[in-house]
Amino acid sequence: MTRGVRGATTVVNNEANEILENTKALLQEMIEKNNIIPASVSHVFVSVTSDIDAVFPAKSIREFPGWKYVPVMCMREIDVPNSLEKCIRIMMVVNTAKSQQDIQHIFQKEAIRLRPDLVEEEE
């Protein structure tokens, strides 16, 4: 079955290192919480708000072993008034036996506000 795995994070500054580091941390948690291997990934969309343009955040995905051939594309989010600023979103499409409700979507930093209903409480 093909499932979407969502993730989002934010940065404080529009700086390449911060964008890449936060994207990498987000992807790492998405991979770990959902037991994702690169061969199961169909494709990954990475979107950013209009205030992020210092680097393509998807560049950090290539740093993960085995991810060389996974199709990745960056794009810009719709610029909606009063929406969350400096936000990076990931939509990863994977082949998995997990049910829809068993997928763990990951929201970090200020992006927790996007879907607080999907954020697991820390124990």
Scanning the chain, the segments in alpha helix (DSSP H) are: 16-34
Question: Is the separation of the CB atoms in 75 and 103 below 8 Å?
Answer: no
Of residues 121, 115, 117, 119, the one with CA closest to residue 87: 115
The annotated binding site for prephenate is made up of 6, 89
Using CB atoms within 10 Å of the CB of residue 11, give its burial: 0 to 12 exposed, 13 to 18 middle, 19+ buried.
buried
Binding residues: 6, 89
